[in-house]
Amino acid sequence: EVTWRNPNPVLSHKETIRADVQGTKVTRLSRQLDPPQSIKETSAFSDAITKSRTVLFIFAFVGLYVFGVVFLISGKRWYALGRKLSIAAAALICAGSFSQFYFQSSQNSPLVLFLVSLVITLMLSVAFFPSAAGFFEWLRVYSPARLFGVEQLVDRRFFSPSVASALVHGVFAGALLAAIYEADGFIATRIRGSVPSSGDFEIINSGWPLIVGILFSAMIGLILAGGVTILVELTERLVRKGILASLIPAFLIAFATTSYLEPRWILVGLSFLATFLTCLLAVQLYRTRGFTAVWLALSINFVFLAAVRSRYLQDPGFVWQSNLLVVFVALLLAVGVWGYVQGRLRTTLSALAVK
């Protein structure tokens, strides 16, 4: 690792550039602009929150896993292990994990890297398979309408009304989520004490943001959508259906995921506001459009962010992959729109045939 610290302040910040070099290749490049110590207001608070939040995330992740396994075992619903949806979820976790370990790592030997990535991803997919089966079976029992769209998607009924609705709303919601994130960053850079610009580019010579941006985003979106689903369903059973059933989960998620490492309180507040709006949109999308829509929205949000980051270096290969990521999202939207149009045409033709 090579580290260079700029002796001259950049926008009143301390600039640090790090590069990981293996042979003739630069495998990781990062640029960090740290605010001066004099304007840090939240260090003690942020340290305490960060430590407690790490423990909270571990408990939440373990709880999400145990939730599905317990429901599967307690109800003896072993047939859920053979459902297409459970198998598809395990396959997605396998593909997403493999893309992250293989394409985002910097091992010298491709064969060793492939074998290690394959073993790790198989272990993860096998471990999460019963949890995913139990989770989807629980949702099928208690909220089947919200699960219907993803079941149609797994059955390859891409132009069905439920899938078309999820695709259209998911794409637009994902674009809005990405816009909120970018707007938050844009506004924050105009506030004194924020980090004006930082970047982290991994695997510059052999990176594949096209593959990772789709597969890993879909996997992370699935996991996050599962967390949103459980929290919303439990909240609705406590406070009934109403505005509180949207506000409470959004507030809890935003409070737990807001960045408290910012040097000033105004930046923490801005981060909380952006995170709260993002969570509120995701929660409301799940309540009105179901699991498929919120999963697609979260996934497409990450796809858009990957597309934006892929253009940072202005490398022709990365720009090309960034364009393909946008094309991928456009194709999803086109499928959803065609599903809507097809449904309208069928309804119109049926009405004309009756007359």
For residue 202, what pLDDT band results from cuts at 50, 70 and 90?
A: very low
Count of other CB atoms within 10 angstroms of residue 39: 12
Domain count within the chain: 1
- Average pLDDT on 304-323 reads 81
**Strand-pair partners of 26:** 21
d(CA 245, CA 297): 20
What is the rounded CA–CA span in Å between residue 229 and residue 248? Answer: 13
pLDDT band for 17, please (50, 70, 90 cuts).
confident
**Predicted pLDDT of residue 166:** 93
What is the distance in angstroms between the CA of the first residue and the CA of the last residue of the chain?
76
Q: Which domain holds residue 84?
A: 2-354
**Mean of pLDDT values over 295-314:** 87
One-letter amino acid for residue 270 of the chain: L
User: 3 is written with which tokens?
Assistant: 């580290």
With residue 172 as reference, give the H or E element that holds it. helix 161-188
Reported confidence tier of residue 201, pLDDT bands at 50, 70, 90: very low
Please state, in angstroms and rounded to a whole number, the distance separating the CA atoms of residues 278 and 179: 10
Residue 250 has pLDDT above 60, yes or no: yes
